[in-house]
């Protein structure tokens, strides 16, 4: 038993050393070729050296990470253990700007729900207690309108963000529904029912996240539209019949409940109660997502990200070898963005 294990250990070490050496040699050769091809004409020697050093350092880290992973996998294979998954790195999922938007939306919604539901469920004892505590319906109405200002502001700001900021446009593009979302949903259901062991492979946003995002559009449209009509009732009724106000009230009340239920049941499950995230997923606060989680939940995004970092030099080398200008951007802009974003990653 011991003998066997020791033999395996030795074998593993041999494999490891060989792998490390070959990878290193191969990659270094490639880098040199690429960087030289790219920089031969335009750049000074000094700059070239610095770039070479930086790319080398990055690659060294990449290689170390890969070796560590391969080592862990081999070890697990040999010792029959599960793959240990230390949080290797973190990626920025939500920018500061986006986190502030989510924060304002969250606080506004909480205020609106707390001051809105007691009006809907006015017969409940707890509503009476709420109004007694807060100082009557006049005060709750005022607070509700403060919440409304928050919601309207974040809605308007978000539209501006989608149009004016590069990050907004990129996220919006990624959030647009695609046929893949439908097939992902079906595969997920098959997976849930045990028909397959293959979970759907999501990109930056899964169909669940897309649903949440677009549901907020629907909610905002109904709630802000009917809410403004009721807020400025006398102005509205100058142009609209009284039953329009009744419809607005009914829609406001019913959509308010629907949104509340969606948040409490669906969103809370996804970010709090889900066994993977319990007690809560901190991404909304830190903006960061761990590498393991990234690989598990957004494999397509992860792979694209890794490809744009690791596979770029050979790709460029290939292009250069084919006689194309090395100064041209090697990949279209979306993945370029991702690569830039990935440079902002943090090591734990």
Partner 1 sequence: MVASRLVHWIKWLTGLFGPTRWSPSSCPSWLLAILMGPLLVLLIPGGAEALKKCTTCHRKPTLSKRLPSGRVISLFVDEELLKESVHAKHSCSDCHSDIRAIPHKGEIKRVSCIRCHFKGNVVGAPQKDINLEFAKSVHGVAAAAGNAKAPVCQDCHGTHNILSPKDPDSQMNKANIPETCGRCHLEVFSDYRESVHWAAFEHEKEDSAVCTDCHGEHTIRAHENPESSTYMTRVPETCSRCHSSVAVVGKYGIKTEQVATYGRSYHGIAIKFGGKTVANCASCHGVHDILPSSDPRSAVHIDNIPKTCGKCHTGANANYAKGKIHVDPTKREAGTVYWISLLFKWLTISVMMALVGHIGLDLFRRFRRRGAAH
- Residues within the interface to partner 1 (CB under 8 A): 118-119, 122, 127-128, 131, 136-138, 140, 189, 191-194, 233-234, 237-247, 249-251, 254-255, 257-258, 261-262, 265-266, 269, 274-275
Q: How far is the CB of 204 from partner 1 (least distance, A)?
A: 20
Q: How far is the CB of 133 from partner 1 (least distance, A)?
A: 11
HSE-up (13 A, CA, CB side) for residue 1: 1
Q: 133 or 311: whose CB is closer to partner 1?
A: 133
Q: How far is the CB of 141 from partner 1 (least distance, A)?
A: 8
Q: 44 or 239: whose CB is closer to partner 1?
A: 239
Q: How far is the CB of 252 from partner 1 (least distance, A)?
A: 10
Q: How far is the CB of 187 from partner 1 (least distance, A)?
A: 13
**Spatial distance between the Cα atoms of 150 and 129, rounded to a whole number of angstroms:** 26
Q: How far is the CB of 240 from partner 1 (least distance, A)?
A: 6
Question: What's the per-residue H, E or C state across the chain?
Answer: CHHHHHHHHHHHHHHHHHHHHHHHHHHHHHHHHHHHHHHCCCCCHHHHHHHHHHHHHHHHHHHHHHHHHHHHHHHHHHHCCCCCCCCCCEEECCCHHHHHHHHHHHHHHHHHHHHHHHHHCCCCHHHHHHHHHHCHHHHHHHHHHHHHHHHHHHHHHHHHHHHHCHHHHHHHHHHCCCHHHHHHHHHHHHHHCCCCCCCCCCCCCCHHHHHHHHHHHHHHHHHHHHHHHHHCHHHHHHHCCHHHHHHHHHHHHHHHHHHHHHHHHHHHHHHHHCCCCCCCCCHHHHCEEEHHHHHHHCHHHHHHHHHHHHCHHHHHHHHHHCCCCCCCCCCCHHHHHHHHHHHCCECC
Q: How far is the CB of 15 from partner 1 (least distance, A)?
A: 29
Q: How far is the CB of 239 from partner 1 (least distance, A)?
A: 8
Q: 104 or 143: whose CB is closer to partner 1?
A: 143
Q: 220 or 316: whose CB is closer to partner 1?
A: 220
Q: 127 or 153: whose CB is closer to partner 1?
A: 127
**Spatial distance between the Cα atoms of 211 and 207, rounded to a whole number of angstroms:** 6
234 vs 12, 230, 243, 245, CA distance in Å? 80, 8, 13, 10
Q: 256 or 313: whose CB is closer to partner 1?
A: 256
Q: 128 or 324: whose CB is closer to partner 1?
A: 128
Q: 46 or 234: whose CB is closer to partner 1?
A: 234
Q: How far is the CB of 287 from partner 1 (least distance, A)?
A: 25
Q: 12 or 260: whose CB is closer to partner 1?
A: 260
How many residues does the structure list for the chain?
348
């Amino acid at each position: 038993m011991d003998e066997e294990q020791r033999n395996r250990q030795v074998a593993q070490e041999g494999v490891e050393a060989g792998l490390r050496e070959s990878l290193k040699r191969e990659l270094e050769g490639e880098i040199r070729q690429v960087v030289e091809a790219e920089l031969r004409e335009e750049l000074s020697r000094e700059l070239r050296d610095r770039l070479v050093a930086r790319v080398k350092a990055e690659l060294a880290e990449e290689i170390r990470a890969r070796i560590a992973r391969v080592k862990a996998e081999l070890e697990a294979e040999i010792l029959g253990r599960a793959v240990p998954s230390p949080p290797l790195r973190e990626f920025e999922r939500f920018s500061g700007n986006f986190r502030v938007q989510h924060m304002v939306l969250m606080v506004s919604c909480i205020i609106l729900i707390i001051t809105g539901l007691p009006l809907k469920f006015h017969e409940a004892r707890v509503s009476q207690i709420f109004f007694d505590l807060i100082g009557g319906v006049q005060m709750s109405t005022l607070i509700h309108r403060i919440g409304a200002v928050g919601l309207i502001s974040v809605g308007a700001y978000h539209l501006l963000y989608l149009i004016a900021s590069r990050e907004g446009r990129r996220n919006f593009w990624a959030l647009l529904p695609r046929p893949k979302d439908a097939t992902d949903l079906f595969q997920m259901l098959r997976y849930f029912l045990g028909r397959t062991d293959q979970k759907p492979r999501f990109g930056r946003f899964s169909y669940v996240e897309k649903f949440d995002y677009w549901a907020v559009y629907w909610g905002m449209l109904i709630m802000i539209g009917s809410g403004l009509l009721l807020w400025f009732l006398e102005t509205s009724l100058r142009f609209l019949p009284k039953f329009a106000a009744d419809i607005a009230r009914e829609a406001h009340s019913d959509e308010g409940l629907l949104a509340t239920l969606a948040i409490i049941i669906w969103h809370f499950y996804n970010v709090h109660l889900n066994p993977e995230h319990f007690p809560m997923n901190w991404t909304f606060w830190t903006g960061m997502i761990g590498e393991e989680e990234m690989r598990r939940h957004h494999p397509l995004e992860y792979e694209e990200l890794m490809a744009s970092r690791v596979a770029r030099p050979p790709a460029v080398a290939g292009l250069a070898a084919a006689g194309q200008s090395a100064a041209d951007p090697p990949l279209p802009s979306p993945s370029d963005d991702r690569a830039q974003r990935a440079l902002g990653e943090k090591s734990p």
